[in-house]
Amino acid sequence: MSIIFLLVGILLSIGLQFTESTNLHFTCSDHISQVSVTFSTIGVCYGVLGNNLPSKQEVVDLYKSKGIGKMRIYYPDQEVLQALRGSNIELILGVTKETLSSLTDAGEATNWVQKYVTPYAQDVKIKYITVGNEIKPNDNEAQYIATAMQNIQNAISSANLQGQIKVSTAIDMTLIGNSYPPNAGVFTDQANSYIQPIINFLVKNGAPLLANVYPYFAYIGNKQSISLDYVLFKQQGNNEVGYNNIFDAMLDSVYAALEKVGGSNVKIVVSESGWPSKGGDSASIDNAATYYSNLINHIKNGTPKRPGAAIETYLFAMFDENQKTGATTEQHYGLFNPDKSPKYHVAQSGIELDTTRNITVILNMK
């Protein structure tokens, strides 16, 4: 399938289609430029911390109708797994924080796989299992991660699914002690003993490291040194260390850290990245739309440390979630409102982002 975007400065929205093969042609009214893109790397995270969200079947149907071919869920919701049967949507399946300690028992790990993986593996495209999400080295659960990963791997192998499913964990950027310049990236001293057995496991099993990468947080935490253009992929020209956006710099700092602990060949999957549309500093519809659209167009290129290799990336998130705790922005990352209406704009053939910048999009599906 392909998308042809015609931007004419009259109506509303920026359009983006998440498909197995996407070609984007941009034509702007005040200047002409064209970019062709082919990738199969975009997914959307499906969080459920809301009391007003659609049914699980409706959500899966929405993914299918909008051509979103990858989904991340944070626990093994059997209603979602059932709805995904035959959908051809690739899935990141999460293990809950509360389950981690039990999975250090090999028998419990086998039971978990037999309950949540094996019955669905023939017609649900489970691609990754994430054993823990953003577990910090000083969290009590940190002691369980490496053993739980190995036990899940053993159970996957016993089910003869090791060629289909990779086991990993998802980290955040707090594990990186020095991220600038990116080549100096290194895991913190505290993280080293935690991350080393995980990296050894990933190397042995040919699995990627999942990383949640949020330029938004880097920006609001250091606005005096980081420009908004650098964060929104709008900077013209490279900085003194060869980067024109912070997303690449953050990702390459993780690659540099991996190289220092024997993980030079470990691929990174960006398991979350997003921008809030309201609720806090620099959180707006316009900034969110710009970030999502430019991110999607950018990831085909890889990073300076890994050029030419498209970055598998999962946007956060499908819906606003009104029961998320923490900062107000946490409730406003959705591409869609809970009633399934687009927060930005959704055409029949894909997700369009931005209701404020006087741009229109014509989509062609092939």
Which residues are catalytic, by number? 134, 272
In terms of phi and psi (left: phi > 0; alpha: psi -120 to 50; beta: otherwise), the region of 237 is left
Rg of the chain in Å (alpha carbons): 20
Tell me if 349 sits within 8 A of 365, measured CB to CB: yes
For helices 189-205 and 142-158, the axis angle rounded to 10 degrees is 0
Q: How far apart are the first and last CA of the chain?
A: 5
Q: Which helix (H) or strand (E) holds 45?
A: strand 42-45
> Which of 152, 158, 237, 146 lies closest to 194, judged by CA?
146
- Look up tokens 């911390």; give the residue: 49
What are the CA-CA distances from residue 254 to residues 211, 216, 227, 247 (Å)? 9, 17, 21, 11
Alpha helices, DSSP H only, in 93-214?
106-116, 142-158, 189-205
Quote the CA–CA distance of 299 and 230 in Å, as a whole number. 15
**Residues in CB range of 275: below 8 A, 6 or more apart:** 215, 216, 283, 287, 288, 291, 292, 333
Q: If you count them, how many residues does the chain have?
A: 366
**Residues in CB range of 325: below 8 A, 6 or more apart:** none
